[in-house]
Amino acid sequence: MSLAPETRWSRLFNFWQDYKQSPVALAALIIIVSVVLMAIFAPLIAPQDPYNQETLDLFDARLTPGETGSGGYVHWLGTDAAGRDVFSAILFGLRTSLIVGVLAGTFALLLGGVVGLMAAYYGGRIEAVIMRIIDLQLSLPAILLALVLVAMLGQGLPQLVTALTLAQYAYFARTTHGAASAERSKDYIEAALSTPLPARQVLFRHLLPNALPPLIVVATVQVANSIALEATLSFLGLGLPLTQPSLGSLISNGFQFLLSGRYWISIYPGIALMLTVVAINLVGDQVRYVLNPRRSR
Amino acid sequence: MSEPVLRVKDLRTEFAVRAGIVKAVDGVTFEVGRGRILGLVGESGSGKSVTGYSILGLIELPGRIAGGEVLLNGVDLTKLKGEQIRRVRGAQIAMVFQDPMMTLNPVLKVSTQMIAAVRAHDNVSRKVARSRARDALATVGIPSPEERLDAYPHQLSGGMRQRVAIAIALLHKPAVIIADEPTTALDVSIQGQILAEVRRLADETGTAFVWVTHDLAVVSSLADDICVMYAGRVVETGAAADVIASPRHPYTAGLLASVPAEHEPGERLPQVPGSAPSLANLPPGCAFAPRCFKAGPACNTTPPVQHFEDGRTALCHYPIEPDSCQPLSSTSTTYQNAS
Amino acid sequence: MIGFFIQRILQALLVIIAMSVIVFVGVYAIGNPIDVMIDPASDQALREALIQRYGFDRPLIEQYFIFMGNMLRGDLGESFIYRLPVIGLIFSRMPATLELAVSAMLIATLLGIPLGLWAGYKPDAISSKFIMGLSVLGFSVPTFWVGLLLIMAFAVELGWLPSGGRGPVTDFLGMKLSIGSMEGLSYIILPAFNLALFKLGLLIRLTRSGTVEVMSSDYVRFARAQGLSERKVVGLHVLKNISIPIVTVFGLELGSTLAFAVVTETVFNWPGMGKLIIDSITVLDRPVMVAYLILVVFLFVLINLVVDLIYGQLDPRIRVRAAS
């Protein structure tokens, strides 16, 4: 039943051949890879550990980009009110943002995938009830749900990831359900179900693989949405505290200085955020385009 | 035959695709007289529909008209631009499409679409436009036209929708109507009714029809003249009765042999062997040669247009001789053996 | 048709009741509101008295029924912080939010539909690619960040527009609105545009894909064969066909615009409901949170219902199905 390895590789190769047709999507992929690498190696790249209070010096507060601080190195992107190097803060902020985004995206994928598969597999009343709830949740904007959930759960990384997961799993549930139930109605599934094969084998061998391509697309977009949503919550003061900074809290931290012309404290983290989110969306767009079976030419 | 209203001369339409230039219409020439019906016959991909679109200037990129003339009452339509050609379309020459499910906008009432069509050319009030629309519906034999006007397309049957489309084409009493397989999607009984209606309209209003179809049975009962296309070229022309009685081009003979009505039930239908060639990759010389039972050494070169008595033509090196006592049945035998 | 209508209304009621339970229980779980209301150092008797007064000592389910009973009478409780009836508090902030949301939707529609039409009508033009690029930015870049950029560009650098606040308001039908005066207008431009961006991106995409589909349809070809001008083809066929998804999205997005106003109002310090809810969450002003959320859910359900019914009017195919 499973594909021979070379076909799988050649499919991957074909996918890549199609993907790289778009220079914009290629550039976006390069941006994502560099952003991820920078986040992973942040402690090695950053000139300063921005959250170790001992390395901070108030004499270095609000240096403009390009000035050299008391540490003897150039603050290419300036410093904030506490004397933090903005570049270092961005690297560490990226880490938090990516962790939150990827964790929330993955958990939402797992939760939504299971819920959607269950609905498609059991059918009948269970399916009706589950999908009714999913539809209801989808009709409410994610930001509102996330706001309520954060208000209920309180601040902190685990709470935030939980809130984002619960606010977004419904997209995955609907996508999985749509793909899987289309497959569920086909004769060969009925045939497989009538054999003594265990039910989970049908679920994982047949229903899941068919739901996978659309799920991948939704997942890329939802990771970007999680990152944006987390940044928004942090900006509103409901996300992560500044002791555990994400890009959102950095921007929020610099917002009060924006009007006095010290733009760099929030603008540079904002650019990092924008690049990341837009790049992920562009990659998602291209993946959707390449995976679309109705694609012309 | 009266002075032709539509003369198509050496029309060429090309599509620039990845594989290169596709000559979908390659030097097509024919003419239609007032009140006459020309059957433009060919398989799918023979270029007959593209010919129809080219006449109205409805070819969109990557396609373009590469040469030739389309003379409508002496005016070359291929030379007209933008607003000029728009004034001709629908007013002097109209078109009806194959699938009546798709040619009417599902979210607009019949009246809305017909009134827009009237007012595209005549600056009249909605009320006048509506009454003209009603008259047009009555002309094509639609019962209680006033009620049909307020219907949405999905509330009408397929045959009824195609009548509406024909009524829209008739609104401005055009000199010519191009009909692109308009009965193919319909039941045979409905098809018969519509064909009879069209014949009557051509006779009564003097509108000329170019009836694009793959179905020789339709043409034999409807058309005055026939123009057979293969791979973008006209391979045979002549009066419908003559061509059907004794085809000159082997391809026409093959098509005729495969019409079910010519055979006993249960008998195996002969067919033209092979399949239509890809237009992007045509053989040199005669495009039909690889499938032809009469193909000879000269077929590697472009065949000449041969002229016969009664104004008939065939694009062939070795046309079938009418006096060779080769009745249809023997032609079909030839094909049967070949397949 | 009437059966369909009643069924939809019952569904809507069920949704509101379910959401009110979830919101009430969920919000109840946050901290102890008494700690917020009074000085921690104050004596136990005062504490007890307040708990008694607000009914915090009763079981949760009883509190819920008391709350629902009060709500049906139009009493949503009293703010812990402002010591004012919540309903009045929210309604006093509502015109500002509605004004902002409606302005944003107008901007998004008036720009988004023409841009989307153009991008769909000439899909290969450079200008169309540019428009599509903008739309990607519009709905992937977080709203608050664009808001910051707008403030920086138009308020700080250029100094053309105010950086926040609402400015002077004029009275219109008992509501205080900004758009009544030029100065008031200058305050609403940036936040409204900011709030519009996401919807703008969405509408451009939606309009474009609808236009591309309709333009390649047989009925557009047929319309052209009838000699309809391009303007008429677009105005009659394209607009009517894309109006169906657009009305749906417009309706649904009006609701989410109210929710997204939370962000824009915070960035631009706009004194609307969104600002109120954020402030209430940070100080745990429970009655305001519950009332706001239930009100938004109610608005949402109402809008969904209206959209469903309009949808049926626009698409004759749906109307037939609903009738049969």
Q: What is the ipTM of this complex?
A: 0.82
Q: Is the distance from CB of A282 to CB of C136 less than 8 angstroms? A: yes
User: pTM for the whole thing?
Assistant: 0.78
Average pLDDT of chain B? 82
pLDDT at residue A296 above 60? no
From the list C219, C314, C320, the residue facing B105 with the nearest CB is: C219
Which chain B residues have any C-beta within 8 angstroms of a chain C C-beta?
Answer: 56, 58, 83, 86-91, 94-95, 97, 99, 102-108, 112-113, 116-117, 120-121, 152, 154-155, 165, 168-169, 171
CA-to-CA dists, residue C308 to A86, A115, A160, C245, C322, angstroms: 50, 27, 34, 11, 11
In this structure, the answer to whether residues B201 and B225 fall within a common structural domain is: yes
Chain C residue nearest residue B98, CA to CA: C218
- Dist. CA C276–CA C285, nearest whole Å: 10
Q: How many angstroms away from the CA of C219 is the closest CA of chain B? A: 4
Q: How many angstroms away from the CA of B161 is the closest CA of chain C? A: 12
Among B149, B171, B193, identify where a domain stops.
B171
- Could you give the number of structural domains in chain B? 2
Which chain C residues have any C-beta within 8 angstroms of a chain B C-beta?
Answer: 217-219, 221-229, 232, 236-237, 240-241, 244, 314-317, 320
Identify the pLDDT of residue B331.
43
Instruction: Give B87's contacts in chain C (Cβ within 8 Å).
Output: 227
Q: Does A92 touch chain C (CB under 8 A)?
A: no
Instruction: Give A147's contacts in chain C (Cβ within 8 Å).
Output: 262, 277, 281
Q: Which residues lie below 8 Å from residue A178, measured CB to CB, with a gap of 6+?
A: A116, A214
Most confident of A238-247, B170-179, C156-165: B170-179
Q: Which chains touch A (3 or more CB pairs under 8 A)?
A: C
Mean pLDDT of A190-203: 71
CA-to-CA dists, residue C68 to A3, B23, C55, C71, angstroms: 58, 75, 14, 5
In this structure, the answer to whether residues B83 and B201 fall within a common structural domain is: yes
φ/ψ of residue A268, rounded to 5: -65, -45
pLDDT at residue B195 above 80? yes
Which of these ranges, B61-70, B154-163, B279-288, has the smallest mean pLDDT?
Answer: B279-288
Q: Is the model more confident about C129 or about C36?
A: C129
Q: Which helix (H) or strand (E) holds A257?
A: helix A247-258
Is B246 a domain residue? yes
Q: Is the dihedral of CA B133, B52, C123, A213 positive or negative?
A: positive
- Dist. CA A144–CA A163, nearest whole Å: 11
Identify the pLDDT of residue A49.
73
Give the strand order in the sheet containing B63-72: B20-33, B4-17, B63-72, B75-76
Position A111 confidence tier, pLDDT thresholds 50, 70, 90: very high
Kindly report the CATH number assigned to the domain that includes residue B198: 3.40.50.300
Among B137, B154, B171, identify where a domain stops.
B171
Q: Does C23 touch chain A (CB under 8 A)?
A: yes
Segment C231-262, tens digit of pLDDT: 888 888 888 888 877 777 777 777 778 878 88
Is C30 a domain residue? no
Q: Does C260 touch chain A (CB under 8 A)?
A: yes
Is B339 a domain residue? no
Pairwise CB contact (< 8 Å): C226 & B117: yes
In this structure, the answer to whether residues B162 and B180 fall within a common structural domain is: no
Is C151 a domain residue? yes
Q: Is the distance from CB of A214 to CB of A284 less than 8 angstroms? A: no
Identify the pLDDT of residue B334.
45
Identify the pLDDT of residue A293.
61
Is B97 a domain residue? no
Is C65 a domain residue? no
Position B66 confidence tier, pLDDT thresholds 50, 70, 90: confident
Instruction: Give B56's contacts in chain C (Cβ within 8 Å).
Output: 225
Mean pLDDT of C109-126: 88
Is B197 a domain residue? yes
Position A61 confidence tier, pLDDT thresholds 50, 70, 90: low
In this structure, the answer to whether residues B219 and B272 fall within a common structural domain is: yes
Position A39 confidence tier, pLDDT thresholds 50, 70, 90: confident
- Could you give the number of structural domains in chain C? 1
In this structure, the answer to whether residues B156 and B186 fall within a common structural domain is: no
Kindly report the CATH number assigned to the domain that includes residue C158: 1.10.3720.10
Q: How many angstroms away from the CA of A128 is the closest CA of chain C? A: 14
In this structure, the answer to whether residues B76 and B202 fall within a common structural domain is: yes
Is B315 a domain residue? no
Q: Which chains touch C (3 or more CB pairs under 8 A)?
A: A, B
Q: How many angstroms away from the CA of C30 is the closest CA of chain A? A: 5
Is C25 a domain residue? no
Q: Is the dihedral of CA B323, B326, B329, B334 positive or negative?
A: negative
Pairwise CB contact (< 8 Å): C141 & A274: yes
Closest by CA to B253, choosing from B306, B293, B198, is B293
Closest by CA to C171, choosing from C163, C181, C159, is C181
Interface test with A, best of C20, C140, C273 (most A CBs within 10 A): C140
- Dist. CA A14–CA A12, nearest whole Å: 5
> Which residues in chain A (70-89) have CB-CB distances under 8 A to chain C?
none
pLDDT at residue B336 above 50? no
In this structure, the answer to whether residues B184 and B151 fall within a common structural domain is: no
Pairwise CB contact (< 8 Å): A251 & C140: no
Identify the pLDDT of residue A165.
92
CB atoms within 10 A of CB A191: 10
Pairwise CB contact (< 8 Å): B97 & C218: yes
Q: Which domains does chain A have, with CATH numbers?
A: 22-52+70-291 (1.10.3720.10)
Domain that holds residue C216: 93-246+265-273
Identify the pLDDT of residue C191.
92
Domain that holds residue B154: 108-171
CA-to-CA dists, residue A278 to A19, A32, A202, A270, B1, angstroms: 17, 10, 38, 12, 69
Identify the pLDDT of residue C161.
80
φ/ψ of residue B211, rounded to 5: -100, 100
Instruction: Give B116's contacts in chain C (Cβ within 8 Å).
Output: 223, 226, 228, 232, 236
Is B122 a domain residue? yes
Pairwise CB contact (< 8 Å): A235 & C263: yes
Q: What percent of chain C has pLDDT over 90?
A: 4
Closest by CA to B3, choosing from B41, B35, B39, B37, is B35
pLDDT at residue B213 above 50? yes
Chain C residue nearest residue B82, CA to CA: C229
Is C60 a domain residue? no
Interface test with C, best of B54, B58, B103, B171 (most C CBs within 10 A): B103
Interface test with A, best of C145, C157, C198, C304 (most A CBs within 10 A): C145
Pairwise CB contact (< 8 Å): C263 & A236: yes
Q: Does C159 touch chain A (CB under 8 A)?
A: no
Q: How far apart are the first and last CA of chain C?
A: 8
Position A1 confidence tier, pLDDT thresholds 50, 70, 90: very low
Pairwise CB contact (< 8 Å): A147 & C281: yes
Q: Which residues lie below 8 Å from residue B21, measured CB to CB, with a gap of 6+?
A: B14, B15
Segment C46-75, tens digit of pLDDT: 777 777 766 766 777 777 888 788 777 777
Identify the pLDDT of residue C111.
92
In this structure, the answer to whether residues B157 and B202 fall within a common structural domain is: no
Q: Does A120 touch chain C (CB under 8 A)?
A: no
In this structure, the answer to whether residues B36 and B114 fall within a common structural domain is: no
Asked if residue B62 has a cis previous peptide bond (ω within 30° of 0), the answer is yes
Among B258, B278, B298, identify where a domain stops.
B278
Q: A-C interface: how many C-beta pairs under 8 angstroms?
A: 104
Pairwise CB contact (< 8 Å): C228 & B102: no
Chain C residue nearest residue B55, CA to CA: C225
In this structure, the answer to whether residues B85 and B132 fall within a common structural domain is: no
Amino acid, single-letter form, for residue A45: I
Identify the pLDDT of residue C184.
77
Chain A residue nearest residue C274, CA to CA: A144
Identify the pLDDT of residue A107.
93
In this structure, the answer to whether residues B16 and B154 fall within a common structural domain is: no
3-state secondary structure chain C: CHHHHHHHHHHHHHHHHHHHHHHHHHHHCCCCHHHHHCCCCCCHHHHHHHHHHHCCCCCHHHHHHHHHHHHHCCCCCECCCCCCEHHHHHHHHHHHHHHHHHHHHHHHHHHHHHHHHHHHHCCCCHHHHHHHHHHHHHHHCCHHHHHHHHHHHHHHHCCCCCCCCCCCCEEECCEEECCCCHHHHHHHHHHHHHHHHHHHHHHHHHHHHHHHHHHCCHHHHHHHHCCCCHHHHHHHHHHHHHHHHHHHHHHHHHHHHHHHHHHHHHHCCCCCHHHHHHHHHHHCCHHHHHHHHHHHHHHHHHHHHHHHHHHHHHCHHHHHHHHC
Is B316 a domain residue? no
Instruction: Give B89's contacts in chain C (Cβ within 8 Å).
Output: 224-227
Pairwise CB contact (< 8 Å): A141 & C260: yes
pLDDT at residue B324 above 70? no
Q: What percent of chain B has pLDDT over 90?
A: 4
- Dist. CA C324–CA C319, nearest whole Å: 9
Pairwise CB contact (< 8 Å): C229 & B120: yes
- Dist. CA A36–CA A28, nearest whole Å: 12
Instruction: Give A236's contacts in chain C (Cβ within 8 Å).
Output: 144, 262-263, 266, 278
Show the DSSP H helices in B145-187 as ranges.
Answer: 145-149, 158-170
Q: How many angstroms away from the CA of C241 is the closest CA of chain B? A: 7
Average pLDDT of chain C? 80
Pairwise CB contact (< 8 Å): B94 & C240: no
In this structure, the answer to whether residues B51 and B162 fall within a common structural domain is: no
